[in-house]
Amino acid sequence: MADSDGFHPLDFRTLPEGEMCHRAADFLALMRRRRTVRHFSDRPVPASLVADCIRTAASAPSGANQQPWFFAAVSDPAMKRRIREAAEAEERTFYGGRAPRDWLDALAPLGTDWEKPFLETAPWLIVVFEHAYGIGPDGARIKHYYAPDSVGIATGMLIAALHNAGLATLTHTPAPMRFLSEILGRPANERAFLILVAGFPAEGAVVPRIGKKPDDAVMGWY
Ligand code: IYR
């Protein structure tokens, strides 16, 4: 098909099957070492590295290719402090009574509480925003398709990219997250989806002794 009809040839690189198997196994081993980290060091991370990981996320498939996302990479200490203060205010009410007992019981193995020092310690907070709707050149609203799903896919790719680059991450979702739009001055059509904390783990960081479900619980062959 020619360029003139809106299509061009696919750049697909066929690999020998042995190499395919090695790559699949190597990627599995890499991704199995990913852990959600809640103790971060203040060791800096170059913005260029974070930018490449965000570019990876922004390459994700999306409904009608609308790319309904914005990634706000925050390293400014004053802005991180404001985000921490607002998030902790929400979390205090969550842990202090808003969360039902069964939710708190489900979180107990993770050892979380209202205090979120990592929001200031970690070098980067990547606030992922979802475009609930688009804005046309004439200012009219454009309907978005599968926006939350698309942003979820992009966020998964962001987590994988950061891990692959040698960084630790934490998915953090203080609720409600409206304060993030205010602090970052984002427009009304964007909603905060999550905060991805990224950096190096603190010296001696620990993670909960929890595991993943076995193969037979997560996959079936038909
Ligand atoms: N947002 C709270 C609570 C929390 C909820 C879930 I679901 C988790 O997997 C972890 C934490 C917090 O960040 O502490």
Q: What is the pLDDT of residues 27-54, one digit of tens each?
A: 999 999 999 999 999 999 999 999 999 9
Does residue 11 carry a pLDDT above 70?
yes
Q: What is the pLDDT of residue 203?
A: 98
**pLDDT tier at 175, thresholds 50, 70, 90:** confident
State the closest ligand 1 atom to the C-alpha of 110, by its place in the atom list counted from 1: 10
pLDDT > 70: what percent of the chain?
A: 99
**pLDDT tier at 4, thresholds 50, 70, 90:** confident
- What six digits make up the tokens of 55? 């570019």
Does residue 3 carry a pLDDT above 70?
no
* Best probe residue, ligand 1, of 35, 94, 177 (max atoms within 8 Å of C-beta): 94
Distance CA 216, CA 94 (A): 35
Identify the residues whose C-beta falls under 6 Å from ligand 1. Answer: 91, 94, 107, 110, 112, 172-174
| Domain 40-202, architecture per CATH | 3-Layer(aba) Sandwich (3.40)
Residue 211's φ and ψ, nearest 5 degrees, are -130, -170
Instruction: From 69, 189, 192, 190, select the one nearest 141 (Cα to Cα).
Output: 189
Distance CA 208, CA 14 (A): 40
How far away, in angstroms, is 173 Cα from ligand 1 center?
A: 7
**pLDDT tier at 2, thresholds 50, 70, 90:** low
What value does the mean pLDDT take over residues 79-104?
96
What value does the mean pLDDT take over residues 71-76?
98
* Best probe residue, ligand 1, of 35, 114, 170, 173 (max atoms within 8 Å of C-beta): 173
Could you report the per-residue pLDDT of 123-169, keeping only the tens digit for each?
999 999 999 999 999 999 999 999 999 999 999 999 999 999 999 99
What value does the mean pLDDT take over residues 176-184?
96
Please, are residues 177 and 45 in contact by the beta-carbon 8 Å criterion? no
How far away, in angstroms, is 109 Cα from ligand 1 center?
A: 11
Residue spans of the domains in the chain: they are 40-202
Residue 36's φ and ψ, nearest 5 degrees, are -70, 125
pTM metric for this prediction = 0.96
Among protein residues, the one whose CA lies closest to atom 6 of ligand 1: 107
How far away, in angstroms, is 158 Cα from ligand 1 center?
A: 19
